[in-house]
Amino acid sequence: MSKTNVISEELFENEVQEELEFLGWEKANFNRPDFREFIDFNTLNDKIIEINQTSPEIAQNAINEIRKHFENDFLSSNLNGFKILLEGIKIYDKNSDLYLTINLISSNYKENKYEFARQMQFSNGNELRIPDITLFINGLPIAIMELKNSLAVEGLEDAFNQNESLKRHSPNLWMFNAINFVSNRVSSKYGSTNANFKHFYGWNSWDISGSNPIKYLFDRESIIEIIKNYTFYTNEQKPVKYLAAPHQIEAVKNTIKNLKESQDNRGGVIWHTQGSGKSVTMVFLARAIMNNFAKSTILMVTDRNVLDQQLFLRFLNAENYLRNKSVNIGSRKELISELNDKKHFGIYFTTVQKFAEETGVLSNRDDIFMLVDEAHRSQNNLDGEKTLSKVTEEFIVKFGYGRYMRDAFPNAKIIGFTGTPLMKMDKDTRSIFGDFTHIYSMENAVRDGATVPINYEMRRTKISLDNKYTDLMDQLQFDYIKTLDQDDILSDQKVDNLIKNINHSLILENDDIIKAKVIDLIQHFKKRANLLNNKAMIVANSRKAAFKYYKNILALYPEYKDKVILVMTESNKDTDPEMTEAIVKKSDVNNAANEFRKPNSKYKIAIVVDMWLTGFDVPDLDVMYLDKVIKWHNLMQAIARVNRTFEDRETRKTKESGLIVDYIGIWKHLADALIQYSSGTDNKLDINIEDVVKAKEKLEEIFQILDDNYIKGITNFSNLDSKAKYNFVIKKTDELLALSNEERNKFIKIARKANRFFKIAYSSITEEESTICKGIQIINSLILTTSLQRDENLVLTIDAIKRAAEQAINANASQVEILESKISKNINDVARILQTEAEGLINSAPRVAAELFRHSIEALIKETERIRPVFAKKASEKLKKIILRLQENEDIERVIEMLRQLSKEIINENNKELEFEDIQLQAFFEVVADDNYLGYNNNSETLRRIAIDLMDKVKDHVTGQFNTNPKVQSHVLFELKKLLKNKYGYPPDALGGVSGILFDKIKNEIRINPDYFRKDD
């Protein structure tokens, strides 16, 4: 098919027609009495007879029944039509005295007739409307295409609005509609019949992984699959129609394939970023499991003590689609009863906390499919968390939920869902669920419009401190440090402990500071009143801080009475009756949540601490005021509260972005998370197989050194019972504390090395080795805590500094000033935001600025290495050298200038024109071009061919085990060497051998993006 650029709508229609014809669609020959007819009843009649092997009389009765379901509004009409498409029509057959189910479309795609009509006219009796292309299956109009010239002023939303107008004009044209499709070739989007434009999915390119939007959606087999399995209406009072997005379809297909091929019942992990429809994906997958595995029971496992009401409701409302009513399980006993009573089928909801302890085998059935939500931290610790119990005087091993779940259902198939990435070192989660079957990152979701971009704004708090008390704090710290032995390694730990004990809650709970923040916050909030529905969430650092926010808002802005709610768990430790009265009662939380979700909610501000930060969707929530330190998974789940898409059908207001307003300086944690989260992969801990093997060898050496010199018997530690382990740890700690500072310092350094090697070799550590390592860690920790407890001077100094700190910040509200930040950018643009922050701090805090510049460059390098891995590696080495200079106390201005220059170099490199559009192919080209022999002895065209050949060869031979199996690596590299030698004469005899550096770089490229290199089916 021609790939020429579209310069007119007609040429674009021609191209779409060619593609449809290539896929097996035929031009419709539609004979109808007038333009008000929208179904080809002649074709439909013939196909009903053929598909159902029935009589013309029955076929005519079915058509008569269809006419009875015409409606005056498109929603009612489509609801009727969709039900008929899925369930067929019941027709009484007088010959057999039975009701027959007559299907209009066959599930076997080959039995249907596929037709298209261009510029077909439809009348409502008053005026004509002409959609660009209408698609028919067996004479039923199942898709409307509105196409635009890519150069036209009109955009996709104009095309969408034309179809919206067509719904009002010809409601019954939409009776059997499955897909509403709009495109200008540059961008293509599709949605369900009643979806607003914000909930359309699509692509910003015509070429999508060797396919295109027409082929992806309208391949004959694909469109039948979409109608039958990837579309459903909810059974609510106001039904909502769901149509799967591409990432949901791919996730389901990959997981079903994985389940069929898996030899160990691990179905894999689906990582779909928060806000991208993860719960709906779970519904689609549940349906697919029941379709593909005849005898199947679904067990939904959520990660909250209180059942995830939103997810449960999602499944309840899909009862017709799933052909099962979901059941909430209250106890393990009830679960066993249900599974024994109902041998097949059924969807049951339970919480992971029901597997907090060993239960024994609950069911040996092999037809149970466990879908586990938030499959990361809570499922960890397969090897067990080892701790000392002072109560029982035992060494306790506590396993994670995942271990107990697996033991309870040993033959069940298990699939994990997460909105946050798994770490490369997260061996436990992978051991339970397997590897990713599909990734849909934050960057993907924003690009596709599945979520809105999140902007970030920092509003710093400037606090006037009393110098008298800050000087006192410095003096107290100085006096204490003078008492320490500078040769004792524990002295550093004591100073760290001193600093950590000056709790930031002193500032975050200060009355005057909160008052100043409230004034700024409400003014900021009021300025946004007309952007959407004026709805916000305040995340406070603690219960006390949250209540102070609540009180200050009502005191300073009484007009917000009944518009602000305080949502946090009730506690019997609360002594303030006013606070107890202000908190939304536990019994009312669900009602408050439902009210807050309403677009016209009476509540405008929700103040929270931990509740509502995960699994709570309010689509029109567009601003979060953050005054709490949150990290990693929790931070990403929290900020995702504002990334949902939203369009108000009445006002037509749409949510263009969400906003995080940062009052605490969370950006460092946010940047760390985003560098990893936005790309959809975790390359931060790039540890190869050789590193793991060496680390394990070093760890074994350390075990022997410690057994010979410091902890006699540690190599036998795992064989002791829990009581003996406890006594062993206590005895060895006392012996080590009795040593000289010099000897004790040697032990601490060795113990720290053991911990470091343990983390690197974690993926290959045995349970015995894990137990030994934990014993060493506990002994080391006990030495530190005992030293801290025995240091009475440290305790007194901490108390004195805390009192001075409280007095130092005892300022009036007028002395607290909010410094408005100029930043308000997409949080995914990590590098640019960090750099802007750094520039603003060069004069006032140059070392902080240097640190921010470093993180900015790291983000740039992370972005660069996907396309230009060789340059990224060199830039990374440069950065290390600059940071080393910083640590060696070189002039800070000189270091900052070097960081600035390196940043410019990376940006300039990123702006250079690429050799290939395919990013991964470009990366291979860069690797090949950097090789000493290939780079200097071949022209650019030859290098291009080598890069293409190498990548094709990798795709032919790489498997999912490449990163973990040395044999697979050796096989792939052997094939590459053979290709280079036979086709390109590399290496020449004079060179003496293949460049090991070249193949190391190729191996790293495969490690970075293994899924890319798997051969397409």
Same domain, 777 and 652: no
Residue 711 CA to residue 255 CA, distance in Å, equals: 48
List the structure tokens of 159: 């095309």
pLDDT tens column, 56-110: 999 999 999 999 888 888 889 999 999 999 999 999 888 888 899 999 999 999 9
Residue 862 CA to residue 567 CA, distance in Å, equals: 39
Mean of per-residue pLDDT scores for the chain: 79
For residue 1, what pLDDT is reported?
Answer: 39
Q: Which of 236, 265, 281 is the last residue of a domain?
A: 236
| Residue 683 maps to a domain | no
Residue 75 CA to residue 61 CA, distance in Å, equals: 24
**Lookup result for tokens 């007609």:** 10
Same domain, 24 and 159: yes
The residue with greater pLDDT, 970 or 854, is 854
- pTM of structure: 0.69
For residue 89, what pLDDT is reported?
Answer: 93
| pLDDT more than 70, % of the chain | 72
Q: Which of 911, 939, 961 is the last residue of a domain?
A: 911
Model confidence at 997: pLDDT above 60: no
CA angle 738, 743, 749 (to 5 degrees): 115
Answer for the pair 428, 380: CB distance below 8 angstroms, yes or no.
Answer: yes
Same domain, 505 and 648: yes
pLDDT tens column, 277-301: 889 999 999 999 999 998 899 999 8
Same domain, 660 and 693: no
Q: Is 76 exposed, middle or buried (0-12, 13-18, 19+ CB in 10 A)?
A: middle
Same domain, 361 and 219: no
pLDDT tens column, 818-844: 555 544 455 556 666 667 767 766 776
Q: Is 238 exposed, middle or buried (0-12, 13-18, 19+ CB in 10 A)?
A: exposed
| Residue 810 maps to a domain | no
Residue 23 CA to residue 703 CA, distance in Å, equals: 65
Same domain, 343 and 421: yes
Q: Is 738 exposed, middle or buried (0-12, 13-18, 19+ CB in 10 A)?
A: exposed
Q: Which of 792, 814, 848 is the last residue of a domain?
A: 792
For residue 808, what pLDDT is reported?
Answer: 58
Q: Where are the beta strands (DSSP E) in 330-429?
A: 347-351, 368-372, 385-389, 394-398, 413-418
Residue 368 CA to residue 295 CA, distance in Å, equals: 9
**Closest among 760, 757, 750 to 780, alpha carbons compared:** 750
Same domain, 430 and 515: no
DSSP tag of 585: P
Could you count the other beta carbons within 10 Å of the beta carbon of residue 139?
23
For residue 97, what pLDDT is reported?
Answer: 86
Answer for the pair 791, 501: CB distance below 8 angstroms, yes or no.
Answer: no
**Closest among 199, 221, 201, 219 to 210, alpha carbons compared:** 219
Q: Where are the beta strands (DSSP E) in 94-178?
A: 98-102, 114-118, 122-123, 128-129, 133-137, 140-147
CA distances from 588 to 580, 594, 756, 906 (A): 14, 10, 48, 54
Answer for the pair 857, 673: CB distance below 8 angstroms, yes or no.
Answer: no
Could you count the other beta carbons within 10 Å of the beta carbon of residue 267?
26
| Residue 100 maps to a domain | yes
Model confidence at 995: pLDDT above 80: no
For residue 3, what pLDDT is reported?
Answer: 42
Same domain, 609 and 591: yes
Q: Find residue 627's DSSP bridge partners.
A: 540
Residue 315 CA to residue 350 CA, distance in Å, equals: 13
Cβ neighbors of 527 (< 8 A, separation 6 or more) are none
Name the domain count of the chain: 6
Question: Sorting pLDDT into bands at 50, 70 and 90, what band is 679?
Answer: very low
**Lookup result for tokens 């996709």:** 156
List, as own/partner pairs, every contact residues 724-730 make where C-beta atoms lie below 8 angstroms and the sequence separation is at least 24, other chains included.
725/394, 725/395, 725/775, 726/388, 726/389, 726/393, 726/394, 726/395, 727/393, 728/775, 729/388, 729/395, 729/775, 729/778, 729/779, 729/782, 730/782
pLDDT tens column, 258-277: 999 888 888 888 988 877 88
CATH of the domain at 414: 3.40.50.300
Same domain, 482 and 605: yes
Residue 682 CA to residue 695 CA, distance in Å, equals: 21
Residue 5 CA to residue 7 CA, distance in Å, equals: 6
Asked, as a colleague might, if the bond just before 987 is cis with ω within 30 of 0, I would say yes
Residue 206 CA to residue 99 CA, distance in Å, equals: 47
What is the widest separation between alpha-carbon atoms in the chain? 104
Greatest mean pLDDT range, 282-286, 445-449, 591-595: 282-286
Residue 753 CA to residue 767 CA, distance in Å, equals: 19
| Residue 658 maps to a domain | yes
Q: Is the dihedral of CA 94, 96, 99, 101 positive or negative?
A: negative
Residue 834 half-sphere exposure toward CB, CA atoms < 13 A: 27
**Lookup result for tokens 């749409």:** 654
Residue 346 half-sphere exposure toward CB, CA atoms < 13 A: 18
Angle between helix axes 667-677 and 632-639 (nearest 10 degrees) is 90
Q: Find residue 540's DSSP bridge partners.
A: 627
Model confidence at 173: pLDDT above 70: yes
pLDDT tens column, 926-936: 766 666 656 55
| Residue 684 maps to a domain | no
Same domain, 397 and 413: yes
For residue 850, what pLDDT is reported?
Answer: 79
Same domain, 514 and 653: yes
pLDDT tens column, 304-359: 654 467 788 899 999 999 998 999 888 878 888 888 876 667 899 988 767 655 66
The residue with greater pLDDT, 680 or 14, is 14
| Residue 809 maps to a domain | no
Answer for the pair 612, 641: CB distance below 8 angstroms, yes or no.
Answer: yes
Model confidence at 571: pLDDT above 80: no
CA angle 653, 605, 441 (to 5 degrees): 65
- Strands 536-540, 605-608: parallel, antiparallel or unpaired by DSSP? parallel
Q: Counting every residue, how long is the chain?
A: 1017
| Residue 804 maps to a domain | no
Same domain, 303 and 216: no
Residue 671 CA to residue 859 CA, distance in Å, equals: 8
Residue 121 CA to residue 311 CA, distance in Å, equals: 44
Q: Where are the beta strands (DSSP E) in 641-766?
A: 658-662
Cβ neighbors of 102 (< 8 A, separation 6 or more) are 48, 52, 54, 58, 59, 62, 88, 89, 90, 91
Residue 267 CA to residue 414 CA, distance in Å, equals: 5
pLDDT tens column, 115-169: 999 999 999 888 999 999 999 999 999 999 999 887 655 678 889 999 999 999 9
Model confidence at 593: pLDDT above 60: yes
| Residue 478 maps to a domain | yes
Which range marks the domain in which residue 366 is found?
Answer: 244-448
Residue 806 CA to residue 510 CA, distance in Å, equals: 9
pLDDT tens column, 878-890: 888 888 777 666 7
